[in-house]
Structure 1
Amino acid sequence: MTEIRWAYALNQWDTNIDAFVRKRDHERAFKTISISGFSAIELTAESFGPWEPLGTPQQIADLYGSLDGFRQVLAGCALDAVSSYVYDPFIGFDVEMGRGSEPLDAASIPAITRTAVWFADALAALGGSVLVVRPVGSAWQTGPLSNEQIASLADCWNQVAAAVRASGISLALHFDFLSALRLEDGLARLLDATDPQLVGLALDTAEFAVAGFDPVEVFERHADRVHHIQLKNARDVVDDAEAATPHAEQSVRTEGGPRRIERWFFEPTDEGGLVDFEAFMRSVARHGYRGWIVVESDQSPHPAESAMVSGWYVQKVLAPIAAAEFHAVPESTPEHV
């Protein structure tokens, strides 16, 4: 990919397993995203069968006849591609709502690889280029990762990345605010342990902000490994103690923790947000990032409005910053897949 391309995550429309299942609802969302100035969508892997018709390649084919049929629908809505799929290996796909695999368990690598290749092949057919993966469980489950655990994770994701690269797809590790990688510099240790030619980072601005990290500083530190960017805002921070709450995915992320936070993520335009998007974009352009930038607002109560406001902000503020900084980037800057 030789330029920054803008996509929009579809997850904010999909608020419940039976809330976004009809083609007409999909097409309305696609057209809203398109007229807002985005050229692609990002999908999230789900295992609820027909209740999540965009959750797997098989479900897409069942609803739209084939992956090509789905891509034609996207083209009819003036969208070029599915930029990326977000895959959590802890979710199983052999049965609906099944249990997946543990990346720390070497015996799980073949199963994770098969599923990753399944999604990567679909992405290749849908014009995408990045498989975004959750690399490890939450902090409350593992505590700080040992050197041996980091080595095990690196072996897993090196193998998976090599397998999906055969389909022309890049692998990017996604850091979430409850991740074990938040502890004792786990993210940097994992990136150092993985093959930089194969394994990249998906930098989600809000997830880092909620975890107490400045996304600009994270990008500056790991710019050469960033293969994918997700933009959204956040207002509140979760410290290590709160992240260590048992079953934090439910008690903190879903229920809001003891502070009863109703919504963790917001549009980039949110005035109360923690992320300095203009500074972030200057850093992104200065380092010569080439690839997808996906805007998200995955807890928006008004998804169409959020998409349109975000599209305005991209076109009027963020894209011009990138264009202005682009001219200062050396031509020899390496591209990301």
Structure 2
Amino acid sequence: MIRWSYAINQWKPSFDDFTRRRDHERALRVISISGFTGVELTTGTGRWEPLGNPDQLAANFGSAAGFADFVHDAALEAVSSWFFDPLLGFREDLSGPADPADPAAHDSVVSHATWFAEALAELGGEVLVVRPTASAWQRPELDDAVIDTIAACWNDVGRAIAPLGIRLALHFDFLSALRSHDGLERLLAATDPALVGFSVDTGEFAAAGLDPVAFIEAHPDRVAHVQLKNAAAVDDDDEYLRRNAEHHVKKGGGEKPVPRWFLELGVAAGIVDAEAVVRALVSHGYDGWVTVESDLSPHPPTSAMLNGWYLQHVLQPITAAS
């Protein structure tokens, strides 16, 4: 059965926004009334990120269970998933960025992933979604030795969190080093399918010039999570290789420029066929969460409600007919 959640990341455009409890309450209620039953959190660190990690949840809500009650009070069933980027580092334990391509960092990655997975299990979640490696401008080369090192790290994480009932899902974004040299397929081949799944982010795939439906058809057994969002354009000028692409390309629009890389579902200008994605998932018997996103939306509540309308009137009829 497909269950629908919504990513809360679009409500936080800068580090000092979206820090008050009333803001969180309003966001969760908008997500709920828009037809979603779960929420996806994003990792963060420090007091400006009250929803960013288990320690911050405990500081602001008493415990993970206290935050679960807060989520339930908004008429949502669960925190479906948590997006974890080990390259960020955490002030809570004074740890720096942990790079999966560095064997010396693997213990840190496993430890922090387990930290999140334990809290996620308390929150009723099922999937830890992870950014598996750095951006392409930071790591232009992915030789076999680097791929094997990254794969070993995520195999270890998958093995560590499986007893908690949490599945691991690698996430691909259009700035990722995995865009180069067939890195995505090589990493999939190097990881253990029993331990490491994949999160299909439809907007990121489309922006990278890849077909998310074709990926689902080719790897149905590896799909452990889906992030469903629309995209406005393809990075066909290889701007993902540009230094600090996160700022100059994703936020700044690049040389085109692109006002917003990611749009609401069903927008005519978009290039993601969300209906085809859902049909592919249904045809392969996908059983799990689909998280709808609208990264960098200038009006998060409006985007959530527009996506909710599309969910209820276009996508859910597809799943109901199966």
Task: Name the TM-score, length of structure 2 as normaliser.
Answer: 0.96
Aligned position for 1:8: 6
In the alignment, does 2:224 pair up with 1:227?
yes
> Does structure 2 conserve the Cα–Cα contact (< 8 Å) formed by 1:101 and 1:111?
yes
Aligned match for 1:115, one of 112, 124, 149: 112
Aligned position for 1:335: none
> Does structure 2 conserve the Cα–Cα contact (< 8 Å) formed by 1:266 and 1:299?
no
SS at match of 1:252: helix
Structure 2: gaps spanning 5 or more residues: none
Aligned position for 2:24: 26
Aligned position for 1:41: 39
What is the alpha-carbon root mean square deviation over aligned residues? 1.5
Following TM superposition, by how much is the alpha carbon of 1:282 offset from its aligned partner in structure 2, in angstroms? Answer: 0.9
Following TM superposition, by how much is the alpha carbon of 1:240 offset from its aligned partner in structure 2, in angstroms? Answer: 6.2
Aligned position for 1:297: 294
CA deviation profile, 1:133-188 (whole Å, cap 9, x unmatched): 01011122222411111111111100011111121100000000011111222111
Closer/same/farther in 2, CA of residues 74 and 118 from structure 1, 3 Å limit: same
Aligned position for 1:126: 123
Aligned match for 1:61, one of 44, 58, 63: 58
In the alignment, does 2:274 pair up with 1:267?
no
CA deviation profile, 1:224-262 (whole Å, cap 9, x unmatched): 100000011111111363221122222212222122322
- Which structure 2 residues correspond to residues 269-288 of structure 1 after superposition, within 5 A? 269-288=266-285
Following TM superposition, by how much is the alpha carbon of 1:61 offset from its aligned partner in structure 2, in angstroms? Answer: 1.1
Aligned position for 1:236: 233
Amino acid at match of 1:152: T
Following TM superposition, by how much is the alpha carbon of 1:97 offset from its aligned partner in structure 2, in angstroms? Answer: 9.4
Aligned position for 2:72: 75
- Which structure 2 residues correspond to residues 139-158 of structure 1 after superposition, within 5 A? 139-158=136-155
SS at match of 1:18: coil
Closer/same/farther in 2, CA of residues 154 and 4 from structure 1, 3 Å limit: same
Amino acid at match of 2:34: S
Which segment is superposed worse, 184-193 or 223-232?
A: 184-193
Amino acid at match of 1:19: D
In the alignment, does 2:258 pair up with 1:256?
no
Structure 1: gaps spanning 5 or more residues: 327-337
Aligned position for 1:334: none
Task: Name the TM-score, length of structure 1 as normaliser.
Answer: 0.92
> Does structure 2 conserve the Cα–Cα contact (< 8 Å) formed by 1:43 and 1:84?
yes
Following TM superposition, by how much is the alpha carbon of 1:281 offset from its aligned partner in structure 2, in angstroms? Answer: 1.1
> Does structure 2 conserve the Cα–Cα contact (< 8 Å) formed by 1:284 and 1:322?
no
Q: Distance in 2 between matches of 1:199 and 1:317?
A: 31
Q: Distance in 2 between matches of 1:240 and 1:135?
A: 24
Q: Distance in 1 between matches of 2:286 and 2:50?
A: 33
Aligned position for 2:215: 218
Amino acid at match of 2:124: G
Q: Distance in 2 between matches of 1:255 and 1:96?
A: 32
Amino acid at match of 1:164: I
Closer/same/farther in 2, CA of residues 97 and 122 from structure 1, 3 Å limit: same
Aligned position for 1:333: none
Q: Distance in 2 between matches of 1:102 and 1:66?
A: 29
Amino acid at match of 1:224: D
Aligned match for 2:312, one of 315, 322, 325: 315
Aligned match for 2:166, one of 140, 154, 169: 169
Q: Distance in 2 between matches of 1:276 and 1:300?
A: 19
> How many positions carry a matched residue from both structures?
322
Which segment is superposed worse, 65-74 or 256-265?
A: 256-265
Q: Distance in 2 between matches of 1:314 and 1:210?
A: 22
Q: Distance in 2 between matches of 1:241 and 1:6?
A: 33
Closer/same/farther in 2, CA of residues 309 and 20 from structure 1, 3 Å limit: same
In the alignment, does 2:177 pair up with 1:180?
yes
Q: Distance in 2 between matches of 1:95 and 1:261?
A: 36
Tell me the percent identity. 54
Amino acid at match of 2:230: N
Amino acid at match of 1:121: E
